[in-house]
């Protein structure tokens, strides 16, 4: 959380990572070169945007999308780079880890904010 890391500004530049987000067919087609590129520290999959770009709007579970995700993870691993993905559903997160993802975002700032706001609103409805 901002402001909780002592000496943050003095240390931050030493800990910068560049992750390339793959969200299109072009990204999938070029993931080998992306993962191999000097200066790229890893790749991250945006599954909903990738699904939309592949013609499967709202269906990240479509087999074509899932194959693309597996290909992205495998390409990153081949080049010794970490790969990650957004997966707020536990079963999806576990599957992606089994497929080789090295990190999984299980929520987003918007999702956490929405959940907390809903909880607060529900408390006032009682």
106 domain residue, yes or no: yes
Enter the tokens of residue 38: 């000097």
Q: How far apart are CA 38 and CA 52, in angstroms?
A: 29
The mean pLDDT value for 38-44 works out to 98
pTM for the whole structure: 0.83
5 domain residue, yes or no: no
Q: How far apart are CA 33 and CA 50, in angstroms?
A: 18
2 domain residue, yes or no: no
What are the angstrom distances between the C-alpha of 118 and each of 32, 109, 114?
42, 14, 6
Q: How many structural domains are present in the chain? A: 1
48 domain residue, yes or no: yes
- What angle is formed at CA 7 by the lines to CA 16 and CA 108, rounded to 5 degrees? 50
Domain containing residue 56: CATH number: 3.20.20.60
pLDDT in tens, 72-94: 999 999 999 999 999 999 999 99
pLDDT value for 1: 60
Position 60 pLDDT exceeds 90: yes
Where in the sequence is the domain holding 74, given as residue range(s)? Answer: 15-125
């Amino acid at each position: 959380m901002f402001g909780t890391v002592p000496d943050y500004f003095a240390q931050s530049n030493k800990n910068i990572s560049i992750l390339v987000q793959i969200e299109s067919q072009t990204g999938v087609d070029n993931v080998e070169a992306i993962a191999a590129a000097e200066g790229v520290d890893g790749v991250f999959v945006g599954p909903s945007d990738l699904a939309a770009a592949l013609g499967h709007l709202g269906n990240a579970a479509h087999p074509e999308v899932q194959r693309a995700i597996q290909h992205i993870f495998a390409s990153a691993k081949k080049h010794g780079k970490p790969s990650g993905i957004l997966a707020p559903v536990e079963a999806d997160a576990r599957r992606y880890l089994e497929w080789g993802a090295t990190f999984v975002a299980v929520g987003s700032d918007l999702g956490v904010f929405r959940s907390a706001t809903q909880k607060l609103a529900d408390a006032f409805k009682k």
